[in-house]
């Protein structure tokens, strides 16, 4: 179960560069492409002629041409023509609300009447030139909530990421979880510790000494449906930690957009936004490579965990205090799902009455 009346990241603009992209999101098979004015369209990935996936076709002058017999579809989901055939009476395919913003293509998978672009989260780092962003995409065979659990409890870094961002001091600093409306915040602060390799490299990248004790922080923020932004960083010890002057620290935001594909698979858009040396493209590439490797370690663990859970449906997973962030996030998701179900029931009742 996943919320559907909400915006998910569907793809990045480079994925629809001159060609259509077929992607399943929340169980819906969708094809994305650029229409005549360059705007992104999202249509049901089903050719009205014989049911071929439209994503196997190609884009010609803003129309999507089916790769089977050449039916052309407009960005509005209507048939636009087919060589030597009359297709004007063909039914339109479902059109999904799609918005390109903040360097991502967003899709609304639920009730079209409720799709308000103002609900797309504001991302300061995506618009402000003082920030640089680098990221990637992983397909992972796991329930989206397992990834949320993973990101809302960074205790696992000590074990899963021992050679990069993990260190024993993480376990020794208990996280604190707060719920603020629909947002869940889990924070952890560590003082006077040596920076682990990833952070030592980031300090060097920012022109700072990497062999001195530091204060380190992780502030994970979950918001529905499944976005997790994590403020992370280190500052030379005694300079104010999280609040230290920028000249003493290397900090960034770990960006996680988790888009469900099915009940047990996700499109995971990961990245890192930083506000030091934003013009340094080489640093962006180095950080991106490091982060990609680290997140590959999560991928392996999560897929193995999902396989185990599927093979043992009778087993219950257990919660410790380190799991509070994930537990609270799941409660928010349950609330959103319940509200959606009530809203749908109400609409169904209204339409019967009408």
Summarize as ranges the residues that interact with ligand FES (CB under 6 A).
Answer: 47, 49-50, 52, 66, 68-71
Can you tell me the distance from the alpha carbon of 300 to that of 182, in angstroms, rounded to the nearest whole number? 30
Find the shortest distance in angstroms from Cβ 74 to ligand FES: 14
Q: How far is CA 134 from CA 103, 108, 157, 271, 274, in A?
A: 11, 24, 21, 6, 9
Cβ pair 272, 228 in contact under 8 A: no
Six-digit token string for 21: 């992209």
Read off the DSSP letter of residue 91. Answer: P
Q: Which residues, 6 or more positions from 172, have their beta carbon under 8 angstroms from its beta carbon? A: 190
Cβ pair 218, 188 in contact under 8 A: yes
Find the shortest distance in angstroms from Cβ 49 to ligand FES: 3
What is the crossing angle of helices 144-152 and 324-353, to 10°?
140
Does residue number 323 form part of the binding site for Fe ion (CB under 5 A)? no
Residue number with the smallest Cβ distance to Fe ion: 298
Does residue number 298 form part of the binding site for Fe ion (CB under 5 A)? yes
Q: Which lies closer to ligand FES via its Cβ, residue 50 or residue 307?
A: 50
Options 10-18, 85-93, 266-274, 295-303: segment touching Fe ion (CB under 5 A)? 295-303
298 binding partner (options ligand FES, Fe ion, none; Cβ < 5 to 8 Å by kind): Fe ion
Q: Count of residues binding Fe ion (CB under 5 A)?
A: 1
69 binding partner (options ligand FES, Fe ion, none; Cβ < 5 to 8 Å by kind): ligand FES
Q: Which lies closer to ligand FES via its Cβ, residue 85 or residue 349?
A: 85
Cβ pair 121, 269 in contact under 8 A: no
Find the shortest distance in angstroms from Cβ 60 to ligand FES: 14
52 binding partner (options Fe ion, ligand FES, none; Cβ < 5 to 8 Å by kind): ligand FES
Interface residue list for Fe ion (CB under 5 A): 298
């Amino acid at each position: 179960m996943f919320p559907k009346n909400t915006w998910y990241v569907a793809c990045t603009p480079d994925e629809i560069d001159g060609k259509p992209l077929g992607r399943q999101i929340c169980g819906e098979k969708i094809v994305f492409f650029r229409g005549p004015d360059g705007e992104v369209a999202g249509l049901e990935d089903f050719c009205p002629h014989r049911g071929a996936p439209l994503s196997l076709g190609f884009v010609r002058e803003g129309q999507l041409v089916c790769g089977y017999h050449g039916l052309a579809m407009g960005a509005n989901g209507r048939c636009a023509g087919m060589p030597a055939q009359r297709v004007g009476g063909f039914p339109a395919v479902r059109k999904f609300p799609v918005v390109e913003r903040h360097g991502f293509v967003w899709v609304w998978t639920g009730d079209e009447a409720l799709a308000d672009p103002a609900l797309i989260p504001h991302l300061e780092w995506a618009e402000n030139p003082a920030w640089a962003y680098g990221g990637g995409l992983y397909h992972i065979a796991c329930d989206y909530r397992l990834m949320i659990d993973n990101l809302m409890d960074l205790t696992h870094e000590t074990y899963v990421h021992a050679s990069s961002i993990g260190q024993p001091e993480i376990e020794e600093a208990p996280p604190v979880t707060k719920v603020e409306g629909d947002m869940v915040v889990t924070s952890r602060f560590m003082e006077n510790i040596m920076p682990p390799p990833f952070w030592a490299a980031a300090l060097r990248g920012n022109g700072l000494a990497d062999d001195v004790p530091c204060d380190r922080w992780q502030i994970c923020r979950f918001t529905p449906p499944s976005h997790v932004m994590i403020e992370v960083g280190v500052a030379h010890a005694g300079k104010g930690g999280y609040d230290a002057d920028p000249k003493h620290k290397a900090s960034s935001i770990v960006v996680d957009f988790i888009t469900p594909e099915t009940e047990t698979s996700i499109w995971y858009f990961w990245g890192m936004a930083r506000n030091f040396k934003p013009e340094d493209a080489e640093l962006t590439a180095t950080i991106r490579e490091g982060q990609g490797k680290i997140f590959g370690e999560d991928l392996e663990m999560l897929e193995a965990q999902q396989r185990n859970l599927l093979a043992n449906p009778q087993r219950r997973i257990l919660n410790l205090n380190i799991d509070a962030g994930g537990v609270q996030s799941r409660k928010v998701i349950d609330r959103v799902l319940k509200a959606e179900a009530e809203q749908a029931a109400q609409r169904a009742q209204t339409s019967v009455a009408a």
